[in-house]
Amino acid sequence: MLRNSFSAKVLLFGEYTILNGSRALALPLHRYSGSWSFSSHDQVRKEESRLSLEKFIQSEAAKKLNLKKLQDDFAQGLWFDSTIPQGFGLGSSGAVVAALYQEYGEPKFKLDEDREILAKLESFFHGTSSGLDPLVSHINTPLHIQSVEKVDCLYHALNLEGFFLVNTFKPRKTGPLVTLYKEKQKDPNFSRGCSDILMKEVNFAIDCVLTKSSQNLTHHLWHISKFQWDFFNEMIPEKEKKIWELGLETGDYVLKLCGAGGGGFLLGHSDKLSIIELKEKFTEHEVFKLSES
């Protein structure tokens, strides 16, 4: 009856710069997921989920779905059983929206049309939405975002070797961080640097991943990390600044923001250290390879 799993998502490249027209790369993160449930194996999480669902059912957004069926299932104890951490930039609300749309909506199986509806549904949770997070969970396929308006599905394997995620164990809210970024854009030096340096490095790195060319990937990632260190320092959690700077100095690995920053996860890359060696360096963090998630 109900599809069994809706994955989290990770934004590999394009955090913030997508707002200025750069490309971006987003992909499903199967390590974390959610699914519909009627059981009561975790009463606390069930009640939290049902409270959110109840509010959604009462909203305007719910009218875009088969509300009668949703209300009937809710009355039978429906909830969304998710392992996706909230406030960590992994699309926890996007997975819920994708699940709602697939079970209680009428998917069009056309990327633009589905995204438009998903954005309207997710606006309940965030006020505004691009629809990209729920779209990744909906199609369960990586997306190449060439612009805010043009998005392509990627059906071939990506070059994810060397990428890893670092859990800061610190939730954060995206809204204030985006507001900070927009304020920083008023500084001509910051704005020019984003356009002339960061966006170009992001686009080069995306090309390396898409073409499975690792030759220049480390170079571009180092420059992204250094730019964020210099200009996005407020978005880097204080606890992680030491390991970030150490990576820039040694070249053993590099770290960059994964989403809005401020907490959540950091994205890392190393072509020198194994995952075992990385875990030895980041003893206070959870570290895992992106290619195995």
Question: How high is the pLDDT of residue 213?
Answer: 82
Pairing of strands 24-37, 79-82: antiparallel
Specify whether 80 is located in the same domain as 183: no
Specify whether 225 is located in the same domain as 170: yes
82 backbone dihedrals φ, ψ, rounded to 5°: -125, 140
Question: How high is the pLDDT of residue 1?
Answer: 47
Structural domain boundaries, residue 196: 163-292
Specify whether 256 is located in the same domain as 232: yes
Total count of domains within the chain: 2
* Separation of alpha carbons 250 and 243, rounded Å: 10
Question: How high is the pLDDT of residue 292?
Answer: 79
**Which token pair is 121?**
């549904």
**Which token pair is 98?**
């994708």
Question: How high is the pLDDT of residue 157?
Answer: 82
Specify whether 144 is located in the same domain as 178: no
- The 254-257 sheet, strands edge to edge: 254-257, 265-269, 163-167, 286-289
Degrees to nearest 5, angle at CA 179 with 87 and 128: 65
For the domain that residue 222 is a member of, what is the CATH number?
3.30.70.890
CB atoms within 10 A of CB 222: 18
Last residue of a domain, one of 153, 181, 204: 153
Specify whether 126 is located in the same domain as 186: no
Specify whether 131 is located in the same domain as 215: no
Determine if residue 143 is left, alpha or beta; phi over 0 gives left, psi from -120 to 50 gives alpha, anything else beta. beta
Residue 158 within a domain: no
Specify whether 111 is located in the same domain as 215: no
Specify whether 171 is located in the same domain as 32: no
Last residue of a domain, one of 153, 179, 199: 153
Degrees to nearest 5, angle at CA 131 with 126 and 133: 85
Tens digits of residue pLDDT in 208-260:
999 988 889 999 999 999 999 999 999 999 999 999 999 999 999 999 999 99
Residue 59 exposure: Cα atoms within 13 Å on the Cβ side? 17
Question: How high is the pLDDT of residue 3?
Answer: 59
Question: How high is the pLDDT of residue 206?
Answer: 96
Residues of the chain whose pLDDT is less than 70?
1-3
Specify whether 145 is located in the same domain as 11: yes
Task: Please answer whether residues 121 and 127 qualify as being in contact, where contact means their C-beta atoms are separated by less than 8 angstroms.
Answer: no
pTM metric for this prediction: 0.93
Specify whether 63 is located in the same domain as 126: yes
Question: How high is the pLDDT of residue 23?
Answer: 95
For the domain that residue 67 is a member of, what is the CATH number?
3.30.230.10
Question: How high is the pLDDT of residue 291?
Answer: 86
* Separation of alpha carbons 89 and 265, rounded Å: 7
* Separation of alpha carbons 87 and 112, rounded Å: 27
Give all strands (DSSP E) within the chain, no chain letters.
6-13, 24-37, 79-82, 143-145, 151-153, 163-167, 254-257, 265-269, 286-289
